[in-house]
Amino acid sequence: MTESSEILIRKSDTKKKLLFAFPRVGSSLVIGLEGFALLNLYYNGYGLSALLVTLVQALGFIVIGFGQFLFGWVSDAKYTKWGRRKPYIIMLAPLLGISFIFLFLPRLILPDLNDKAALFIWLLIWDLIFKISYSLTTVYQSWMAEQFINSERPKVSQFQNYFNWIGNGSMAIVSILVLTNYVTALTGPPPNPNIPIPFDFLILTIVFGIIVIVAFILVAIFMPTEPNFEIKTKLKENLKIVLKNRNYLLITLMIGIASLAWSILNNALLAYTQGALFLSGLDFYIIAGFLLIGIFSFLYFWRRTLEKRGKKKTLLNIFLFAVISLPISLLALIDAFPRLLLGMIFIIIGTGSLGGWYLFPYIVYADIAEDDEQKTGQLKAGIYAGFNSIILNLFQAFGVFVLGVAIESLPMITLSGGSVALGLILFGPISSAILLIAYFYTKKYVKLDYEWEKK
């Protein structure tokens, strides 16, 4: 960061860092549940085609990609009396919470969930609104470079990840212990998507929606308005500068390639434990315990590795861990292998891989924006945090659609627990192969550690 920028940004205390990080609880709750449990609810529970569910999610990723770019770009352009970022956070946060509630509770409004056409339209409308609203996270995240000096960002990112995994842990426990019971009830026998919504699932869904609204509104109210950094070039010129940043483009492509696999893994993980391993009831209490162990132990391990070995070496280790371990999903084909044990192993593998990956986006784009500022003298945090989302979400859209195609097009096989789509088992080695490509690409082309960080 330039000397003038350092002077403008005041040194932050722990209270400010915690306040800024807090909304990650809410965003992790809602986007985590949408990615982790939506396929399981609509496919295994309501009986909607997996291809249609993943098609909607793919369209949502495309929408969120352009939305994140648009709001990042626009929020860079105009400085108001509330700063550049606050107006968009206040505008989009309520819509995010409300759309989340309707997305997961169609039974509140739709009279007959056996009407799959109406259910599909409902899913399409509310998931698209949800994804557009989620664009506020790009506006919020681009704030990091404007609110905190470089030396403070690792600590802020650490707090964000603590809140992130509190949200993800809570979301996953609710998904495993509450949503799976609802899905089991929906599938019968006899299957009936019109059963009353369980009280615990109803209340928790509404509470999650309220939390995300309150968390972002609080940060918008109590965070100080950022200094008015002068951006001399026009937005079109800023975009040209960004597109000339070779390392930024290489990193964006790397994140896109890896996100193919991460979107498949995230969407399939819960559906795999319930639909391919046939776990139920008390099994999920054990799975929930191992999920928490995986989340917090791996979060600590990867963070310590990042501090000791740097960003690039740590990311390469995360890729290798996932490449080697994810094909274990194939063990579901062996009837003699204990299903609960496999579920425990795979939950730890999945959370360990995803937990490591999610450490990076918070830091990487703020560092790129600052690296550019070292050269140009201007901080363009919004456009750096937003432009990549187009490429990233196109890859995620393709990844989740591939999962749907695999589930629907590959044959059903019969195991001792029942019939299962072969695609719901093969997602592990498919993800592993994609991440192997990401590993070699990252090793050869990507730069994540900078000389100015050592000063």
- Residue 185: what pLDDT? 92
* Placement of tokens 């991440």 in the chain: 435
- Residue 303: what pLDDT? 80
The structural domains of the chain, with segments of one domain joined by +, span: 12-454
- Residue 284: what pLDDT? 85
- Residue 7: what pLDDT? 43
- Residue 238: what pLDDT? 64
Q: What is the pLDDT of residues 439-454, one digit of tens each?
A: 999 999 998 887 766 6
Q: DSSP label at 209?
A: H
In the chain (455 residues long), the average pLDDT of successive 10-residue segments reads 50 85 91 88 93 93 81 75 86 94 95 95 96 84 76 76 81 86 89 93 96 94 79 61 82 90 88 87 85 80 86 94 96 93 93 83 73 67 65 86 90 88 93 96 90 67
- Residue 3: what pLDDT? 42
- Residue 374: what pLDDT? 72
- Residue 377: what pLDDT? 63
- Residue 351: what pLDDT? 85
Q: What is the pLDDT of residues 383-425, one digit of tens each?
A: 666 667 777 788 888 899 999 999 988 899 988 888 898 999 9
Is 12-454 CATH 1.10.287.110?
A: no
- Residue 142: what pLDDT? 76
